[in-house]
Structure formats: structure tokens, C-alpha cells
């Protein structure tokens, strides 16, 4: 049933989520001419929104609100040992043939890299949270384990804490809160992609004590200016729109 749910959700995400509107317009074209025409136009607009960078960002701001990049200066009001940078994993592959081993997925690498940069700028320790990818259970292949290895080997950086049990965002927050219990932490800086941030902040706010400050440090924050290519269908636009649809459905569902 879980696989069926994921399959149905995948079909409903942009840009294929507009196909039911187009099919309904075709089915109603003879009996309800004007309704069919309206549904067809709506379907075309939905395909455009789900395929372009401008359309995806326009929809993102209305569904999830605007995101702003964090300024390093705002993290310097507390001693570094009273804060922690928490990087959320975004998946791993149990085997990449070119490496001959398990590796983090690109989204996880992006988050880890930014977390390392923030840590080096502020001297705040870093925690990476992420469990095992599907069908992989040995310790070295958890997202957190891979992140620790990648940080050491490729960035020359030591990850202070690893949380290697979480399978989703809610567990990221719950297990991170448990790991930090007893530490003198007054502020948690959450590093994840801008589209994922709203759902992540909700999970961490519910898991952390109310006196712990929560700070968003999103990555992939868009620039405010536009160029004509942003209005054309693109791989980046379709990927952002699809990611947005996934995160919005997860947020509405309470996950």
C-alpha cells in the first residue's frame, strides 16, 4: 500500500499532475464545450507553472512563503558551544558503481557542504542527521556515517555529532533532540533546502524544548531578479516544482 501511495503521489506531482485536467477536458469536449475549454487552458497553465523556474518560484512563495539566506553575523551573539548546526540528510545511494561504495545523494552533499562552510565561519559544531537508505542496514552506509566520512575525506572537516537512525524529517527532529539532551545548547541552526525548510522547522519546533532558539539556514535560495530563460520550460524548473509539490503535500499531511 505504501508503494502504491508513493506511485499515485508521483503522478500527481508537477508537471504530470496537470494531465488529469487535460484528460477531463478532452472527455467533456462534446457535452460541456466551455467547461472543457476552461479546463484545457487551466491544464496548460499548470503544465507551464510546473515546468518553469519562474512558475515554480511563484508558486513556492505562495504555498511556503519567502525564504532568506542567513547572515553569519546574526550567529555571533552566543558562544559557539551554545549553538549547533544541524544538517538534515536528503538520501543516499547504497551503491554507486563509479565509486564502488555507498555515497550521499547530491542534495545531501549540498547541505553538508553548506553546513561545513557555516561551521568554519562561526566555529559552531555540526551535527548531521540521517539513517540508512533503503535496503541497506550496515553502519557504514547510513547517511550520517557517509556524511562523516565525506566531510573528513573530501573537506578535511570533523563532524561533531552524527544521528544515524532517522528515516524522515520528523525522526530527524526527534532523534536530534534526544542526542542533544543534556548539552548546553541554546540555539539550533537548521540546514536544509529552502523548499524543505518550513516542514523541517515545524518538526524541530515540536521536538525541541521551547526555550531553545530555532534558526533557519536554507540553501538554494533564489535571487530576486529574473531573466527570460526563467519563463521557459527547464529541467531546473520542473525539478523545483516537483520538489515543491512533494514538500507541500508532506506539510499539509502533517509529516
Quick one: pLDDT at residue 119?
96
Do residues 34 and 219 touch, judged by C-beta distance below 8 A?
no
Architecture of domain 72-219: 3-Layer(aba) Sandwich (3.40)
The neighbouring-strand residues paired with 52 are 233
Q: What residues contact residue 121 under an 8 Å CB cut-off, 6+ apart?
A: 72
Do residues 193 and 111 touch, judged by C-beta distance below 8 A?
yes
List the one residue out of 205, 255, 245, 195 whose CA is nearest residue 86.
205
For residue 228, what is the DSSP state? G
Distance, in Å, from the CA atom of 111 to the CA atom of 99, rounded to the nearest integer, reads 21
Phi, psi (degrees; rounded to nearest 5) at 2: -65, -40
How many residues comprise the chain? 255
Rounded CA Rg of the chain? 21
Every domain range in the chain assigned CATH 3.40.50.620: 72-219
Per-residue pLDDT 10s for the chain (255 aa) are 345 555 555 656 666 666 676 676 677 777 777 887 777 777 777 777 777 888 888 888 888 888 888 999 989 888 999 999 999 999 888 888 888 888 899 999 999 999 999 999 999 999 999 987 655 444 457 899 999 999 999 999 999 999 999 988 999 999 999 999 989 999 999 999 999 999 999 999 999 999 999 999 999 888 777 787 878 888 888 888 888 877 877 777 766
Sheet holding 161-163, edge to edge: 161-163, 126-129, 83-88, 187-193, 213-219
Quick one: pLDDT at residue 158?
95
For residue 222, what is the DSSP state? P
Report the 10 Å Cβ neighbour count for 22. 16
Amino acid at each position: 500500500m505504501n508503494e502504491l501511495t508513493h506511485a499515485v503521489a508521483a503522478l500527481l506531482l508537477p508537471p504530470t499532475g496537470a494531465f488529469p485536467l487535460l484528460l477531463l477536458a478532452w472527455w467533456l469536449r462534446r457535452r460541456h464545450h466551455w467547461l472543457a475549454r476552461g479546463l484545457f487552458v487551466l491544464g496548460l497553465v499548470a503544465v507551464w507553472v510546473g515546468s518553469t523556474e519562474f512558475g515554480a518560484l511563484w508558486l513556492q512563495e505562495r504555498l511556503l512563503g519567502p525564504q532568506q539566506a542567513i547572515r553569519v553575523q546574526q550567529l555571533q551573539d552566543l558562544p559557539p558551544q551554545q549553538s549547533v548546526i544541524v544538517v538534515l540528510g536528503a538520501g543516499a545511494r547504497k551503491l554507486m558503481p563509479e565509486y564502488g561504495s555507498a555515497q550521499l545523494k547530491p542534495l545531501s552533499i549540498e547541505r553538508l557542504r553548506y553546513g561545513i562552510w557555516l561551521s568554519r565561519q562561526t566555529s559552531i559544531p555540526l551535527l548531521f542527521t540521517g539513517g540508512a537508505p533503503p535496503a541497506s542496514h550496515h553502519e557504514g552506509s547510513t547517511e550520517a556515517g557517509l556524511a562523516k566520512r565525506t566531510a573528513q575525506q573530501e573537506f578535511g572537516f570533523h563532524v561533531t555529532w552524527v544521528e544515524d537512525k532517522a528515516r524522515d524529517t520528523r525522526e530527524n527532529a526527534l532523534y536530534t533532540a534526544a542526542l542533544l539532551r543534556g548539552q548546553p545548547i541554546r540555539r539550533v541552526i537548521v540546514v536544509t533546502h529552502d523548499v524543505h525548510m518550513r516542514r523541517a522547522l515545524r518538526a524541530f519546533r515540536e521536538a525541541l524544548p521551547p526555550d531553545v532558539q530555532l534558526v533557519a539556514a536554507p540553501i538554494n535560495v533564489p535571487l530576486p531578479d529574473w531573466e527570460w530563460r526563467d519563463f521557459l520550460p527547464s529541467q531546473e524548473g520542473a525539478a523545483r516544482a516537483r520538489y515543491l509539490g512533494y514538500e507541500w503535500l508532506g506539510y499539509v499531511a502533517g509529516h
